[in-house]
Amino acid sequence: MIRPMAYVLALLALLTLTACSAPPPSSSDDVQRLATEIQRLGPDVDPQEAQRAASIAYAYTAQLAQEYQITDPPLIHNTKVNRGTRPRGLCWHWAEDIERRLKQENFRTLTLHRAIANADNPFRIDHSTAIISSSGETMYEGVVLDPWRYGGVLFWSPLAEDTRYDWVAREVVLRKRRQEQVARLKPYTGG
């Protein structure tokens, strides 16, 4: 039988070892699977654009992991960013940076979107991501590109299959927040 203190010490040792490791590099198979999924977004998706988007998504995630100095799981890294001991790496940083990088490609057959989950849930923190879709389609027909979720390892999935989060278009969430803020600022005129 493992004694509780021994268990805690073993768990802390394991966390220390895994927390200090860099995210594993992606393989060409990973990139190809994502390129294939992007290609499946529609018959008009240019295969070269799908391949380029997948390659950039993986390579740029690795680059950002280095720049953000990722050595911990996401929530621990968030704490370090919020304390000022890491430069960036909150989920919205990842989403903003990967969206900006992919938009530099000026894709003809692909469109980038941003989404937020948990905005209406006071018990969970907001989570932001970038989504890529076929040109002219909404984010709901797209593929989630989420490098934050696994601490610098690119997670991707068709949005419809990403059951962990209920994604809402970023502009919808921000519009609602602005409306709520305006409502709070209105002077009380009741009697």
Residues 88 and 117: beta-carbon distance below 8 Å: no
Q: Where are the domains of the chain?
A: 26-185
CA–CA dist 55, 8 (Å, integer):
40
Q: Which pLDDT belongs to residue 11?
A: 42
Q: In what order do the strands lie in the sheet with 143-146?
A: 155-158, 143-146, 127-134, 110-117, 168-169
Q: Is the dihedral of CA 59, 91, 148, 133 positive or negative?
A: negative
pLDDT digits (tens, 9 = 90+) for 137-181: 999 999 999 999 999 999 999 999 999 999 999 999 989 888 888
For position 131, what pLDDT does the model report?
98
- pLDDT bucket at 111, cuts 50 / 70 / 90: very high
What band does 26 get if pLDDT is binned at 50, 70 and 90? low
The confidence band for 19, taking pLDDT boundaries of 50, 70 and 90, is very low
**pLDDT mean over 13-18:** 42
Q: pLDDT tens digits, residue range 56-85?
A: 999 999 999 999 999 999 999 999 999 999
Q: What is the pLDDT of residue 121?
A: 81
Q: Quote the CA–CA distance of 144 and 29 in Å, as a whole number.
A: 18
Distance, CA of 132 to CA of 138 (rounded, Å) = 9
* pTM of the model as a whole: 0.81
Position 58 scores a pLDDT of 98
- Output the pLDDT for position 10: 43
Q: Output 11 or 99, whichever has higher pLDDT.
A: 99
For every residue of 110-141, which 3-state class applies, written as one string?
EEEEEEEECCCCCCCCCEEEEEEEECCCCHHH
* Mean pLDDT for the stretch of residues 4-14: 45
> Taking residues 131-139, what's their average pLDDT?
97
d(CA 17, CA 21): 7
